[in-house]
Amino acid sequence: MLKVVVLVSGGGTNLQAILDAVDSGAITNTEIVGVISNNKNAYALQRAEEKGIPNVCVSPKAFASRAEFNQALLDTVDQFQADLLVLAGFLVVIPEMMIEAYRNRIINIHPSLIPSFCGKGFYGLKVHDAVLARGVKVTGATVHFVDAGTDTGPIILQKAVKVKDGDTSKELQRRVMEKAEWKILPEAINLIANDKITVTDGIVSLK
């Protein structure tokens, strides 16, 4: 049984997609053992509470330094004794020591087709603003392993989404979430939970 902790910062629609997939059997061999947010007002915490999943806020505002927050975040994660950490709209930079402690056991959902529209400053609506500004006709989402870089780890799954004439950033974000994020994040967790993934020289392949 894969024990998973989900880290969130906002509305938690990706968390909800994961919870629904566990309930429906689309994700097997998996238990969501905890939800952690840096934002006490994140509706994602409410979603966890409604499912009876232990949930906690670790806010940078509660600590005198970033180093103390980083240690508190790692200590909180460690308490759950998770096999996999899932960043689902988590807007905090993962500290190096946490990446070390959970090497190849952290995955992230990014709302573009990496390596396009990713890296520092590309998060939330900013991604879709850039997509529309460039005029690309296809965008999408990517699930990848987290390494020391920003959106640079081995790519696990991607799903393309058409950009429609006249799209606003919000309309495009919603379509990317509905058609891509909410599908490939649960699928990636299920693949990992059932040992269907190997990584060789930074390239993910399915068994």
Q: Which positions are catalytic?
A: 110
Shortest Å distance, C-beta 74 to ligand GRF: 22
Residues at the contact surface with ligand GRF, assessed by CB under 6 A: 8, 10-15, 44, 88-89, 109, 111, 124, 173, 177, 181
Q: Which is nearer to ligand GRF, 101 or 171 (CB)?
A: 171
- Rounded Cα distance, 150 and 147, in Å: 8
- Residue number of the CB closest to ligand GRF reads 89
Minimal CA–CA distance to 127: which of 147, 148, 108, 146? 108
Detail the DSSP E strand segments found in 38-154: 55-57, 84-87, 106-110, 138-145
- Strands 203-206, 2-8: pairing kind: unpaired
Shortest Å distance, C-beta 176 to ligand GRF: 6
Shortest Å distance, C-beta 130 to ligand GRF: 13
Element at 163 (helix H, strand E): none
Whether a cis peptide bond, with omega within 30° of 0, leads into 60 is no
Shortest Å distance, C-beta 85 to ligand GRF: 15
Q: Which is nearer to ligand GRF, 14 or 38 (CB)?
A: 14
Minimal CA–CA distance to 145: which of 179, 177, 189? 189
Task: Say which amino acid occupies 175.
Answer: R
